[in-house]
C-alpha cells in the first residue's frame, strides 16, 4: 500500500522516489501496468505530480510511456545494465585507488559503520536497509574524493543493474559475500595498498551481473529481448 505524500513537501519528487524504490525493489515488477488514476488515488495528489514523476522515471529507464495507450514498468534491459556496470567500475577503480593512496580516516570510519549496518540488516533479513547500507559504503569512494556529483550520475544510470542485483540478493549467500568483499576493499584501503584495493573492488563489482543468465531463466517475463 502506497502512503499519501506529505502535504508540505513538493509532491512530484515524493511520488518519484516512492515509485522508484518500489520498482528497484521489484515490489512493482517489470511489465506492471501503472494507472495514473489509481496512482492519484493512492498518493492523494492531482494528475500533475503523477505525470511529472512518470516523466522522470521514463528518463532513467524505469517506465515505458505509450501515448494514448498506457504506462508500464519497463522490462530489465541487460545491455543498459552492462553499460552502467562499466561506468561504475571505471569511476570507482580510480576513486578507490586515490583513496588507498591517501587513506582518509573519516571515510574509513564511515565505511566500517556501513558494514556494521549491513551485518545488522542481513541478520534481520531487511534487504531494503541492507541495500541502503551497501550504497552508503560505495558512496564514500566518491565523497572522499570530492566527486559526489559523479555518484549521482552513476546512480541515475544504474536502474536496470540495480534491479538485477535486487533479484539476486535473496539467493544463497549473496549478502554474506558482499560483506566479505567490502571488508577486503576496506582493509586494502586501510593498508594503503592501491593495487589490492582495485583488485578487490574489480572482483566485487564484476559479480553484479554474473548471475544474469540464471535470473533470466528464473524470471523470464522480467527481461527485455
> Residue 161 pLDDT > 90, yes or no?
yes
Over range 63-92, report the average pLDDT: 94
> Residue 17 pLDDT > 70, yes or no?
yes
Assigned C-alpha cell, 116: 556494521
* Separation of alpha carbons 157 and 175, rounded Å: 23
66-70, 153-157, 166-170: least confidently modelled range: 66-70
* Separation of alpha carbons 180 and 118, rounded Å: 11
> Residue 170 pLDDT > 90, yes or no?
no
1-16 pLDDT, tens digit each: 565 666 667 889 999 9
The verdict on pTM exceeding 0.95 is no
Question: What phi and psi, each to the nearest 5 degrees, are found at residue 104?
Answer: -105, 110
Over range 42-67, report the average pLDDT: 93
> Residue 224 pLDDT > 80, yes or no?
yes
When pLDDT is cut at 50, 70 and 90, the band that residue 132 belongs to is very high
Task: Give the torsion through C-alpha atoms of 212, 92, 162, 128, to 10 deg.
Answer: 120
> Residue 221 pLDDT > 90, yes or no?
yes
Residue ranges of domains in the chain, CATH in brackets: 11-73 (1.10.10.10), 78-222 (1.20.120.530)
pLDDT > 90 in the chain, percent: 84
Task: With H, G, I as helix, E, B as strand and everything else as coil, classify residue 3.
Answer: coil
- Specify which residues 223 forms β-bridges with: 76
Over range 183-201, report the average pLDDT: 97
36-50 pLDDT, tens digit each: 999 999 999 999 999
**Considering all CA atoms of the chain, what is the largest pairwise distance in Å, rounded to the nearest integer?**
59
> Residue 193 pLDDT > 90, yes or no?
yes
Amino acid at each position: 500500500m502506497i502512503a499519501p505524500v506529505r502535504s508540505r513537501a513538493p509532491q512530484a519528487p515524493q511520488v518519484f522516489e516512492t515509485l522508484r524504490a518500489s520498482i528497484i525493489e521489484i515490489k512493482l515488477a517489470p511489465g506492471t501496468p501503472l494507472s495514473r488514476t489509481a496512482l492519484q488515488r493512492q498518493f492523494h495528489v492531482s494528475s500533475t505530480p503523477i505525470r511529472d514523476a512518470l516523466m522522470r522515471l521514463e528518463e532513467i529507464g524505469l517506465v515505458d510511456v505509450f501515448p494514448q495507450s498506457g504506462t508500464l514498468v519497463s522490462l530489465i534491459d541487460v545491455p543498459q545494465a552492462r553499460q552502467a556496470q562499466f561506468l561504475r567500475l571505471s569511476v570507482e577503480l580510480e576513486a578507490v585507488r586515490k583513496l588507498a593512496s591517501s587513506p582518509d580516516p573519516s571515510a574509513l570510519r564511515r565505511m566500517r559503520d556501513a558494514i556494521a549496518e549491513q551485518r545488522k540488516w542481513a541478520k534481520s533479513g531487511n534487504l531494503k536497509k541492507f541495500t541502503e547500507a551497501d550504497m552508503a559504503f560505495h558512496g564514500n569512494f566518491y565523497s572522499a574524493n570530492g566527486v559526489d556529483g559523479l555518484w549521482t550520475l552513476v546512480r541515475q544510470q544504474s536502474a536496470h543493474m540495480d534491479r538485477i542485483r535486487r533479484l539476486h540478493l535473496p539467493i544463497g549467500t549473496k549478502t554474506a559475500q558482499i560483506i566479505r568483499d567490502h571488508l577486503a576493499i576496506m582493509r586494502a584501503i586501510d593498508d594503503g595498498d592501491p593495487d589490492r584495493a582495485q583488485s578487490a573492488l574489480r572482483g566485487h563489482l564484476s559479480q553484479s551481473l554474473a548471475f544474469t543468465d540464471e535470473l533470466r531463466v528464473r524470471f523470464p517475463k522480467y527481461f527485455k529481448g
